[in-house]
Structures are given as C-alpha cells and as structure tokens.
Amino acid sequence: MNAKAVFLDRDKTILLPHGGEKYIYRVEDFFIPESYIEALRNLIESGFLLFVVTNQGRIAKGHLTEEDVEELHHCLDLILKYNGVFITKYEFCPHNPRGSLAPYNVICGCRKPKTGMIDVICDSRDIHKAGSWMVGDSEIDMLAGRNSGLRTIQVMTGSEYDSRYADFIEIDLVSAVSRILKEDEKSG
C-alpha cells in the first residue's frame, strides 16, 4: 500500500523567525506556533507521512555548519514528538553554487527547485505522489513540488509574491492543512 505524504519547507513555513530576523540558523532563532503543531498533528492523524525538505545553502557561505542544522532538527524534533507530531525524515541541501566554502559551493541535484530531496524520499518509500503535497512559502518550493508530481500549496508567511506554480495559496500552515484535508476528503 502506498503512503500519502506532505513535504514541508522549513523556514517561514513551519518555523517562524523571531522578531525581524531574516534567517533561522540556530535553535534560538525560531518559534513554532501552537496552532501549527496542532495542524501537523491533524495531518498525522489523517494518515499522512511528514517530511521536511529545506535548502540550507548558507552552509556553503560559511554562515552555519551541517552540525548546526542537525542540532536544530534534533531540537525541533523533540518539541514536535513531545506534542505527538512525528516527522519521518528531515532532508536538507547544504549546497549553493554562489557560496565560497568547498565542498558545498557546487551545483547539485538537491537544492530546490531541483527535486533531489523529494526524489530520494519517494524512491526509498512507497509514496503515492498524486495524493501527496508540497507546502512552502516560495516559488522554488512550488516548482520543486510540481516537478516532482505533487500538488502544491504556497503559504504567505514568507515575503514572496504569489507563485504561478502553486495549486493553492493559503495565508499560513494552518489554512494549508485545512485545504489538504478538504481536498483529500474529496479525492476519497
């Protein structure tokens, strides 16, 4: 039996930066609203597997390390698990061809809008793509999702304009999850 999944962008999609901060590097840089945790729990209870797929190209610029990213995911995972939310896998891309730090400053197949991170997950698990979703705040998330054969929802908690590659546009993760559950019900 193949599983339906929701692929989640991380920064400004499930994690919001404190104050006016632009980037999320470390544990102290983010918060996750209670309502977001509840929404993610609703997805789990409706039978969706959850995956986080995030570009962390600032590793290639020397602003943070892979260990920083792992540590943040570990901490996030503790918070979520404590609240009944299980993320099946966290994938991140440390590459950025515009970075200066080897071996990360290369063109890779995983940096969104490329589909490498989603492909790896779908290939190693039996994911039913047509019943699955990509949720993110940016154009590159929508492109990666669409090119992977997923349905796409853009949340407006980042600073981007509406993407023409979004199947739906929602104000935040809570309304994105409501949309997924409604559409999932329709498709039976």
Write out the residues near Zn ion by the rule CB under 5 A.
93, 95, 108, 110-111
Q: Minimum Å distance from CB 32 to Zn ion?
A: 25
Q: Which residues in the chain belong to E strands, given as ranges?
A: 5-8, 16-17, 30-31, 49-55, 87-93, 133-136, 151-155, 168-170
What length is written for the chain? 188
Catalytic residues: 9, 11
DSSP lists the bridge partners of residue 1 as none
Q: Is the peptide bond before 94 cis (omega within 30 degrees of 0)?
A: no
Cβ(170)–Cβ(177) under 8 Å? Answer: no
Of 76 and 93, which has the nearer Cβ to Zn ion? 93
**7 CB-near residues (< 8 Å, 6+ apart):** 51, 52, 53, 118, 121, 132, 133, 134, 135, 145, 148, 150
Q: 36 or 92, CB closer to Zn ion?
A: 92
Smallest separation (angstroms) from Zn ion to the CB of 138: 16
Residue among 41 and 73 whose Cβ is closer to Zn ion: 73
Residue 56 or 152 having the CB closest to Zn ion: 56
Residue type present at position 38? E
Q: Shortest gap between Cβ of 111 and Zn ion (angstroms)?
A: 4
Spell out a b/e string for 9-27, using b for 16 or more CB atoms within 10 Å of the CB, else e: bbbbbbbbeeeeeeebbee
3-state secondary structure of 146: helix
How far apart are CB 145 and Zn ion at their closest, in Å?
17
